[in-house]
Homo-oligomer: A and B are copies of this chain.
Amino acid sequence: MPETPTTIIPLDLAATSVDITRQLVDIHSVSGDEGPLADAIVASLADAQHLEIIRDGDTVVARTNFGRAQRVVIAGHIDVVPENDNVPSRYETIDGDEYLWGRGTVDMKAGVAVQLKLAAELTDPRVDITWMWYDHEEVSAALNGLGRLAANRPDLFVGDFSILGEPSNSQIEGGCNGNLRIEVRAFGKRSHSARGWVGSNAIHKLAPVLDTLAAYEAREVEVDGLVYREGLNAVGISGGVAGNVIPDEAMVHINYRFAPNRSGEEAIAHMHDLFGDYEITVVDLAEGARPGLDAPLAQEFLAAVGGEAKPKYGWTDVARFSALGIPSVNFGPGDPMKAHADDERVLTSQITSCEQALRVWLSKS
């Protein structure tokens, strides 16, 4: 897309976090198009004397440097999945509850709105804070803005605890499952199907693979007090040459979501235990993250927010912080089941409660 001169309009961070969410949703920022939103964020914080601003591509970092004993990293991605007639935003009332409806309301502009508001407001927090708003979370891991920043500016990734504003109904969700995808292949010998006995059918050879998948009982694993539910699923299957040919190759594409007490290497070994008779190709691997709730700051945060911490099933960038040695939890407004949905919408009361909990915890008592 050719660059066109645009006027940068700063966000109004003095508005309510619900209203800021609405401002964010109405700025188009599908992955790859985050530039205008990143510009708006930088412009909005230009006058904040308590913040050092760093920009890397369309990722914006804002941090305090008060020399506090502890530092917390608070992060959120500013991109969204493609729109589907669900912008601009609007308010809806369902069963007496007010919702803000539109692409990104849940995943995760409400979380970013809360963070932006507090970044501007908290000029004297009790810990140092590194705010990170990053691009390209909803696409290939290779494009992820947080990953790029970690490579370009590893010095920014210091902290005693981190909070990722991914939707979690404004409750704390600790850690995340790991995510492995493999291709399992069977081979045979091609022949004309009129004389099938001359060949050897690769699709038929996949029968034990599907049997194993259908019979598999996924583990429920307690890690640091949270119970993670695993999952083993075929997400694709293919094979076949023509309607009259015995196929010589067939493949099942398998997704294994594994609890964070298992390493990626162990997850791969488990696949070899299950499907060792076949050719196995690892397509994608993301390590899980332990919940990190044993860190002292995490315990304090948990106490401040109240309620009960839950496991996060889906993979999020908490795993990235966890791998860098920074305990990390998910905490943001919105029901994750509505993420990416065409009727994506967030309870406005969750935005407010998230804001309030973070403010209380980050302020001097």
Contact A255 B240 (CB under 8 A): no
Copies in the complex: 2
Taking CB atoms and an 8 Å cut-off, the chain A residues in 240-265 that contact chain B are 240-247, 250, 252-253, 255, 257
Cβ–Cβ contact B314 & A234, under 8 A? no
Does the CB pair A240–B237 fall under 8 Å?
yes
Q: Is the interface of A mostly helix, strand, loop or mixed?
A: mixed
**A214: chain B residues within 8 A (beta carbon):** 201, 204-205, 207
Interface range for A: 35 or more
A69 within 8 A of B: no
Is A203's CB under 8 angstroms from B237's CB?
Answer: yes
A151 interface residue per 8 A CB criterion = no
Known: A206-B210, A207-B210. A235 touches B244 (CB 8 A): yes
- Are B211 and A240 neighbours in the complex by a CB distance under 8 Å? no
Pick from B177, B179, B244: contact of A255, CB below 8 A.
Answer: B244
12 more A-B residue pairs beyond the given contacts A179-B194, A203-B234, A207-B214, with a C-beta to C-beta distance below 8 A: A192-B314, A193-B257, A195-B231, A197-B231, A201-B234, A203-B213, A204-B233, A234-B240, A235-B247, A236-B239, A237-B237, A237-B240
List 4 A-B pairs, minimum CB-CB distance, nearest first.
A236-B240, A207-B210, A194-B314, A203-B234
B-binding residues in A (CB < 8 A): 177, 179, 181, 192-197, 201, 203-207, 210-211, 213-214, 218, 229, 231, 233-247, 250, 252-253, 255, 257, 283-284, 313-315, 337
